[in-house]
Amino acid sequence: MKGLLKYIEKIKPNFEQGGKYEKWHSIFESFETFLFVPGVTTPKKGAHIRDAMDSKRLMSVVVIALIPALLFGMWNTGYQHFLALGETAGFMQEFIHGLIKVLPIVLVSYIAGLGTEFIFVYIKKKEIEEGFLVSGLLIPLIVPVGIPLWMVAVATIIAVVIGKEVFGGTGMNIVNPALLTRAILFFSYPSKMSGDKIWVSGLDNGMVVSDAYSGATPLAQAASTSSEQLTEHGFKFFNGLEKESVTFFDMFMGWIPGSIGETSTLMILIGAAILLYTGVASWKIMFSGLVGAILMGLIFNMFATDTNPFMALPFYDHLVLGGFAFGLVFMATDPVTAAQTEKGKWIYGFLVGFIAILVRVLNPAYPEGMMLAILLMNVFSPLIDYYVVRGNVKKRLKRMSA
């Protein structure tokens, strides 16, 4: 570390005004402040205190919180692959297979997104903010492993440009760029974002699989359960191999097919603990989102009919299936796009959970409601804030006149 700092200090003058590489100052600055806390301190006479905790440090916390889900996702990718093949493999073999599959997606997302970001920073002659650090890691975690890399690149670039840069860059976007990337992928290339073939690596390349293997995610299985099957044995989930059923515990632990980082609720909870302990994410949003989802699940359970057997899925299963947990912990709590007011956070979180389950159950076109529910609340969070602020203004005016 010391050596690195020394090196940076050594080459720094080249990038200062009048230096050799003056043009590249913004990009040098970005790397410097990413690696080390900027060496600027409050002047002696300032009325404010400059905290060492800036947005880059804040975002590194989120990145650390994402690591458990990422590592588990890598292992799970390999595990599902060998399960589909019908072979047994060791832990390391599975992990390395997953690493080979997942790492390129991570790299492509970072290179495409950061590249776009740097171009904009360069044109605007601004220093880069926390930039793309978190989004770049979120994107690989919410796509299926079978996605072609060029699609990731295209969608990432589009999302960064129209979702973020045109609004003025970091901190000013109205929708979460990672979610927008997924939405763009989902609506532009639906065949690569849904179905049974894409969740397990190698399955869409015509890999020879063992008998009776289906790569459907448990969420898709729940959605396609017919009323006859339901009356016969209730909801049953299969772990790819039709014979082996998975329990609630398996789905909680996450060894099921799904998007790379979304399957393991346990790993997401570890991430949530890190986020809540450091105070980076809002517990209000997570809690009220959970309440909203449970409430909607209970309402559906109460009014379950034969025409839509999916309504009978117990509410606690909704919480561990699909991207619900991941979305609620890492996406809905994005401090930029969520509601900013404290009261607004309760409303925002509640509606995210509520709409997610609503769309999941009632909309046969989309197996996963979480992505769209968060996007929808992202665009309406300014409105929630507006009314919360208005209400407060009114209350205080009343108090003043009284």
Partner 1 sequence: MQDLVNIFVKSIFIDNMVFAYFLGMCSYLAVSKTVKTATGLGLAVVFVLGITVPVNYLLENYILKKGALEWLIGDQAATLDLSFLSFIMFIAVIASMVQLVEMVVEKFAPSLYTSLGIFLPLIAVNCAILGGALFMQEREYTSIGEATVFGLGSGIGFFLAIIGIAAIREKIRYSEVPAPLRGIGITFIATGLMAIAFMTFMGIKL
User: Which stretches of the chain bind partner 1, using CB under 8 A?
Assistant: 162-163, 165-169, 172, 174-175, 180, 183, 187, 355, 359, 362-366, 369, 372-373, 375-376, 378-380, 382-383, 385-386
Please identify, using beta-carbon distances, which residue of 99 and 161 lies nearer to partner 1.
Answer: 161
> Least distance (Å) from partner 1 to the CB of residue 338?
12
Please identify, using beta-carbon distances, which residue of 254 and 344 lies nearer to partner 1.
Answer: 344
| DSSP class per residue in 247-314 | -HHHHHHT-SSSSTTTS-HHHHHHHHHHHHHHT-S-HHHHHHHHHHHHHHHHHHHHT--SS-GGGGS-
Specify the residue for token string 């976007």: 173
> Least distance (Å) from partner 1 to the CB of residue 99?
33
**Residue/partner pairs of 29-35 with CB below 8 Å, 24 or more apart:** 29/127, 29/128, 30/118, 30/121, 30/127, 30/128, 30/131, 32/8, 33/127, 34/133, 35/4, 35/8
Please identify, using beta-carbon distances, which residue of 214 and 378 lies nearer to partner 1.
Answer: 378
Rounded CA Rg of the chain:
23
Among 326, 258, 249, 268, residue whose Cα is nearest residue 71: 268
Specify the residue for token string 């949003």: 285
> Least distance (Å) from partner 1 to the CB of residue 4?
32
Please identify, using beta-carbon distances, which residue of 11 and 383 lies nearer to partner 1.
Answer: 383
> Least distance (Å) from partner 1 to the CB of residue 384?
8
Task: Report the distance separating Cα 36 and Cα 44, nearest Å.
Answer: 22
> Least distance (Å) from partner 1 to the CB of residue 55?
16
Please identify, using beta-carbon distances, which residue of 177 and 218 lies nearer to partner 1.
Answer: 177
Please identify, using beta-carbon distances, which residue of 127 and 250 lies nearer to partner 1.
Answer: 127
> Least distance (Å) from partner 1 to the CB of residue 119?
13
